Structure 1
Amino acid sequence: MTRWVVLHQNSNKKGFCILLILGLSAFLILNSLMVEGAVIGANKGVIGYKNVLKNGYAQELVTLTTDTDFNLSVTYTIDGEITEWIRLEPSKQPFFISKDMPAVIAIIVEPPEDAKNEHYTGAVRFLTGALAGPQGQFGTTVRAAINIRLGVDITGQEIVSCSVGGFNLNDVEEGYPLEFYAVVNNRGNVRIKPEFILEFWNQDQSELVETFTFTINESILPTVQKRIFQSLKHNLDIGQYWVRIKTPLCGTAGSGFITTSVIERGGVSDKGELIRIDNKPWVKVGDIVPIDAVFKNLGSRVVSAKFKGTIASGDEIFKIIDTDALDVLPGETIKLRTYFNPVQEGQYMITGRVLYNKKLTFEKSSVLNVNPTGEPPLAKEGFNWSILLIILIIIIIILVVLVLRRKHLMKKRPRHRHR
Structure 2
Amino acid sequence: MICKNFLHDVTGHVAEITSPNKAIIHFTLDGVLQTAFLKIQRFYKDGKCLPDNENLNKYIKISNKVKFSCHIIDNAEPGQCKWFITNCWRHIESEQHTATLSTGIMNVAGTVMDLKQRHGMLVMTDLLENEFRVHFLASKVYIYGKRLSASKPLSSHLQIEDKVYFDAIPCFPEENNQKCNWFATCVHKGKKPEDLYKDPNRIETTETDKDGLNRSVNNFVLNNEVSSSHCQQQELVPPEYASTINTCETVKQTHSANADNSFNNSFNNSFNNSFNNSFNNSFNNSGLGEMESSKEDANPRAEHDPKLNAKMLHDIKLLTNNPKAVFAKSNGIIMGIINEEYGVILGEFQRNIFESILFHRSNAFLFKMNLAHSKLSEIFIEGDRVRFIAVNAPKQFVCEWIATQVSVANFAEEGDEQGEDHEVQIVEESPNVQILE
Assess same fold via TM > 0.5: no
* Structure number with larger C-alpha Rg: 1
TM-score normalised by structure 1 residue count? 0.21
> Which has the larger strand fraction?
1
Structure possessing the higher relative contact order (Cα contacts under 8 Å, 6 or more residues apart): 2
